[in-house]
Amino acid sequence: MYTETQLFKEICSEKRRVDTRVLEQVITLAVEIAREGREGRKIGTLFVVGDSEAVLRSSRPMILDPLQGHADEKKHIEDPNVRETLKELAQLDGAFVVSDEGVVLSAARYLDTVSDSLELPLGLGSRHMAAASVSHRTGAVSVAVSESSMVRMFDDGKLISEITPELWMFDRYSSQIRNRPVAQTEEGVTIVGPAE
């Protein structure tokens, strides 16, 4: 066992250059979306964090980008108004691109997906394949929200973490996010556990 902080440090290494605080904010938002849904229905979405220039080059807008033209300071992931906006936009198909600084640069992006050499567990859909693919081809980390209310994190083309929203949120209310134990399975998937 090792702690969640160690997991974040491993993901947010020099190789990835992803800010730990930004990744935590994205995961928390993803968990809220998975848990709450929108307007009474479950929704899925995808966040791609870091290496945003490469991600934007290997993707295209599915519709006119609702975030384009807004100042960066008005699109920061920590802003409660931005978070509510992103929850609304999550109902649209496509991915969000989040910079290393926590600015949500784009929404409703179609990610170019290459499935060669990716090995994902059976049963995961195209959103998860896109998340794995973009994390494999760029220096980004992907956080996918499935309509079954699971949050999965991908790094270097591999599924590295599965988060059950109810456990995550319950633990957030009862303790600090840092230093929670995590367990790795034989498949390399990390399960976030409750605080000790």
Give the pLDDT score at 173. Answer: 47
Q: What is the pLDDT of residue 196?
A: 47
pTM: 0.80
Report residue 59 as tokens.
């993707």
Residue 122 confidence (pLDDT): 81
Q: Where are the domains of the chain?
A: 12-157
- Give the per-residue pLDDT at 189: 58
Sign (positive or negative) of CA dihedral 32, 6, 99, 61: negative
- Per residue in 25-37, is it b (16+ CB within 10 Å) or e — as a string? bbbbbbbbbbbeb
pLDDT of residue 128: 92
**pLDDT value of position 114:** 84
40-79 burial: b if 16+ Cβ within 10 Å, else e? eeebbbbbbbbbbeebbebbeeeeebebeeeeeeebbbee
pLDDT tens for each residue of 25-71: 999 999 999 988 888 789 999 999 999 999 999 999 999 999 999 99
- List of the chain residues with pLDDT < 70: 1-17, 167-196
Q: What fold, for 12-157?
A: YojJ-like (1 (3.40.1700)
